């Protein structure tokens, strides 16, 4: 199946949008290198692209709250318009931002990029399919999970799917391993489980918590269209219920993710620590700073612009009126 790709002009525009330092990426991906060397070059490019993407394309649910239509399109052209061409600082949830990123990778020449589905564990066990990731196979046959759309728990770099039975650990914070889910009737390992761990209050690492389980089966756009319909419309969907924005923060030379800026419902906080860089280095320590509590919709609209550079039109601001996610305190005022 031939999947859509972006034009060279669109790639130029995307790379400028994520502030990638080279255009086009100065890495040969056309088979001119031996497999091992080509794989190393592609992995370095993949890691850098993901990092810059995370810092410029937020994980957010705004279209389900601040939009008269409240419609989520997964069409690559529509995603490019929303995230890149419109120039409004917007992103989307997993199927939007990972769908866009997968199309970018195919357009750059990565030969094997497969969209895959995951079951998310919100604390009550693994349930229905509800998350998208990309699985990228490099010239030496190594496979990597690439996810740029899992909120504050998004891996900061690709994670290798290891076939030797050992888990892959990134920056002491993410772990990927092939294992059996407790919900499986088959005793054999059948899924790749991403787990995370944070720090306890005493600065020591807490235990691992499973977050999602990925199937290796490639999913087609039609498959995700069904999932997207539920996630974007069902009253019980987390994204339908919750206004949220998460964007990565980089260090000064943009070689390392050092934290996240998070808007969740009625607060904004900055989380720093447990970062990762191209060489897999780890920074110890996590800190959280509460930046603002919002009591009115006008305050939340101002916070979106102040902390994320997202400016909503008056029509978009008005669209949340009457929804369960609306902040109902205070007087309504729409900002022109």
In the set 17, 52, 147, 156, the catalytic residue is 147
In the set 17, 53, 65, 131, the catalytic residue is 131
Q: Compute the C-alpha angle 87/93/96, nearest 5°.
A: 65
In the set 17, 53, 65, 94, the catalytic residue is 94
Q: How far apart, in whole angstroms, are the C-alpha atoms of residue 193 and residue 118?
A: 9
The question of whether 94 is a catalytic residue gets the answer: yes
The question of whether 12 is a catalytic residue gets the answer: no
Locate the DSSP E strands across the chain. Answer: 59-60, 112-121, 126-137, 143-146, 159-160, 168-170, 174-179, 191-196, 209-218, 244-250, 256-264, 267-277, 286-293
Give me the residues paired with residue 97 across strands.
Answer: none
The question of whether 266 is a catalytic residue gets the answer: no
Q: How far apart, in whole angstroms, are the C-alpha atoms of residue 307 and residue 263?
A: 9
For residue 40, is the peptide bond before it cis, meaning its omega torsion is within 30 degrees of 0?
A: no
Give the residue numbers annotated as catalytic, written as ranges.
94, 131, 147
């Amino acid at each position: 199946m031939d999947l859509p790709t972006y034009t060279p002009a669109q790639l130029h525009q995307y790379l400028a949008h994520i502030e990638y330092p080279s255009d086009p990426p100065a890495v040969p991906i056309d088979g001119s290198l031996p497999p091992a060397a080509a794989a190393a070059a592609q992995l370095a490019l993949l890691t850098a692209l993901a990092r810059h993407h995370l810092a410029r394309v937020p994980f957010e649910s705004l279209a389900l709250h601040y939009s008269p239509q409240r419609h989520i399109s997964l069409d690559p052209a529509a995603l490019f318009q929303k995230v890149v061409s419109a120039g409004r600082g917007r992103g989307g949830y997993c199927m939007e931002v990972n769908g866009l990123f997968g199309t970018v990778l195919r357009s750059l020449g990565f030969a094997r990029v497969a969209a895959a589905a995951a079951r998310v564990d919100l604390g009550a066990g693994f349930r229905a399919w509800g998350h998208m990731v990309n699985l990228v196979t490099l010239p030496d046959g190594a496979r990597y999970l690439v996810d740029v759309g899992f909120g504050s728990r998004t891996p900061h770099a690709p994670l290798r799917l290891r076939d030797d039975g050992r888990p892959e650990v990134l920056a002491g914070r993410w772990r990927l391993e092939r294992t059996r889910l407790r919900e499986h009737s088959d005793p054999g390992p059948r899924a790749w489980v991403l787990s995370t761990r944070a720090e306890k209050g005493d600065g020591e690492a807490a235990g691992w918590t499973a977050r999602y389980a990925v199937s290796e089966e490639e999913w087609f756009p039609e498959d995700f269209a069904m999932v997207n319909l539920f996630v974007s419309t069902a009253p019980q969907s987390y994204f339908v219920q919750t206004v949220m924005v998460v964007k990565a923060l980089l260090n000064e030379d943009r070689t390392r993710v050092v934290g996240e800026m998070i808007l969740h419902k009625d607060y904004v906080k900055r989380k720093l620590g447990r970062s990762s860089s191209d060489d897999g280095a780890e920074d110890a320590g996590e800190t959280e700073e509460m930046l603002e509590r919002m009591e009115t919709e006008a305050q939340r609209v101002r916070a979106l612009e102040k902390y994320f550079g997202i400016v909503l039109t008056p029509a978009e601001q008005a669209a949340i009126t009457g929804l369960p996610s609306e902040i109902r305190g205070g007087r309504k005022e729409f900002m022109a």
